[in-house]
Chain A
Amino acid sequence: MSFEWPWQYNFPPFFTLQPNVDTRQKQLAAWCSLVLSYCRHHKLYTVDVMEAQESPVFNNKKIERKLSVEAIQVVFEELRKKGNLEWLDKNKSRCLVMWRRPEEWGKLIYQWVSKNGMNNSVFTLYELSNGDDTDGEEFHGLEDWMLQRSLQALQTEGKAEIISMDDGKGVKFF
């Protein structure tokens, strides 16, 4: 299924940071949701800022408009404030995009566990993200760092416990 661009994507003013405060709020909201849905669609978890400039998200070749570096930073800052983005380095050159927050992933995983009656079982992390059983689930292929955070979220909620095993980590669901 190909990615569906929102109407703003073809609206030239979308690529100019609006000076009017109210207009800007709406514009940034639209950008945030575009970035998140794009990353979700392509299962992207990390973004490099330099590469992002040339990516189709920020660069619409058809209308010959692209978002400036400063504006991209503003959009990223907005995402960070919402909890959907985390900087990997101090220079703000690479970041993690969490189009689904860890809590949300945790919930999905727990739902699957409960649905299949696997409470009180132990899984390795690998089994969860790459096992045959989970094939077809949304969290299949979830990157390790995200998986760990999701499980930590569940642990905080008391629904799981992360344990150390011989060759790595595992998790027990309650």
Chain B
Amino acid sequence: MDRFSWSNGLLEINETLVIQQRGVRLYDGDDKAKLDVGVALLSTHRLIWRDGKNHDCCMAMPLSQIIFFEEQAAGIGKSAKIVIHLHPSPANKEPGPYQNSKYSFIKLSFKEHGQIEFYRRLTEEITQKRWENTPVSQPISTGTGPQTGRTRAVGIVGIERKIEEKRKETDKNISEAFEDLSKLMVKAKEMVELSRSIASKIKDKQGDITEDETIRFKSYLLSMGIANPVTRETHGSGTHYHIQLAKQLGDMLQAPLEERGGMMALTEVYCLVNRARGMELLSPEDLLNACKMFESLKLPLRLRVFDSGVMVVQLQSHSEEEMIASALDNVTEKGSLTAEEFAKLLGLSVLLSKERLLLAEKMGHLCRDDSVEGLRFYPNSF
């Protein structure tokens, strides 16, 4: 009986309860232990016994202590027993109910039966030796009395703690991985500052640096995605790339524009151009910058922005007055039109047809009827 150590009876994280049986009395060797009848619990790691009345009185022994065990049949006035033969205690064994014992075996007496099942389970556990797969530490000793608290616990608290540990681990990993990136970001900031200062210096000293070099530098900046205030000048000091692109667009868009009545939304242009290119796609920014240069390059196209913010590319020959006059005719003919109806009539996109109707309203040629049925335009009879 000196192999037992005081315990609080709580299972460790990886420890599972296998079977428990009440009405068990312990024997130190052949002698009855100075304990009352209690509950015997078998786990994957230990044999635990708890006093039936005083739950604070609880002890445990690792299953690794067991050499072998056997059944002892019941007799007259005697309950069935399991005799368990034990290894000697390890040197660091925690204190238990017995300091020493002359016996190397104990008995479990099953006053309320249950020995058959207990024996079977015990056999299983001893065979499987599951405690070797998932080792648990020895309980921390808080004194010679029964254990009360532990740092690791089972149940919800245990799970929570496990999650917390895992989170800390992940956090650490991520921080390590991104250590380099934050250094890079610091450097990038410096680079941007540097480019900006150079750009402003160029702007100031325009005479000293040749046009070529300026353009080249600006193209580097643009390729890095840094907005350069110098390129925004209206007399089109855009990069070479954008100039070429604008000329290309000028050729490419003539036919489609004429098909569509002289006007296309910028989004339509974007899709058309990129579909045609296949590879080497244009970014929206590049397209926009190229379109802004139409006028300065004297190309027959124009980029136009409506009040609502919608951007279109239109032929220079496109006359807005004509469009509005024809819109008014259409509306008068039909009495009234919605943007959708007008779009269908003209073969335009709904977006563009709405813009045209709004423009006509702005000029005072049309007025609107806004109801639950939708937005409809009438000739302005007011």
Residues of A within 8 A of B (CB): 7-8, 11-13, 15-16, 18-20, 22-23, 26-27, 30, 64-65
Contact = CB atoms under 8 A, between A and B. Distances in A.
Contacts of A20: 361-362, 364, 367
Contact of A26 (B369, B370, B382): B382
B382 to A, nearest CB: 4
20 contacts: A8-B382, A12-B371, A12-B376, A12-B378, A13-B367, A13-B369, A13-B382, A15-B369, A15-B371, A16-B367, A18-B367, A18-B368, A19-B361, A20-B361, A20-B362, A20-B367, A23-B361, A26-B382, A27-B382, A65-B371
A160 to B, nearest CB: 42
Interface of B: 336, 361-362, 364, 367-371, 376, 378, 380-382
A134 B88 CA distance: 131
A64 B372 CA distance: 10
A83 to B, nearest CB: 24
A11 B381 CA distance: 9
Given A13-B369, A16-B371, A26-B382, 12 more contacts: A8-B382, A11-B381, A12-B336, A13-B367, A13-B378, A20-B364, A20-B367, A23-B361, A23-B380, A23-B382, A64-B371, A65-B371
Nearest to A30: B382
Contacts of A65: 369, 371
Query: Closest 5 CB pairs between A and B?
Result: A26-B382, A12-B369, A16-B370, A13-B369, A13-B367
In terms of DSSP, what is the predominant structure of the interface of chain A?
Answer: helix
Contacts, number: 43
Nearest to A25: B382
A19 B367 CA distance: 9
Nearest to B336: A12
Contacts of A22: 364
Contacts of A18: 367-368, 382
A22 B380 CA distance: 11
Contacts of B362: 20
Contact of A19 (B368, B371, B376): B368
Contacts of A64: 371
A76 to B, nearest CB: 20
A11 B382 CA distance: 10
Contacts of B381: 7, 11
Contacts of B380: 23
Contacts of B364: 20, 22-23
A110 to B, nearest CB: 38
Nearest to A29: B382
B335 to A, nearest CB: 10
Of B336, B376, B381, most A-chain CB atoms within 10 Å: B381
Contacts of A27: 367, 382
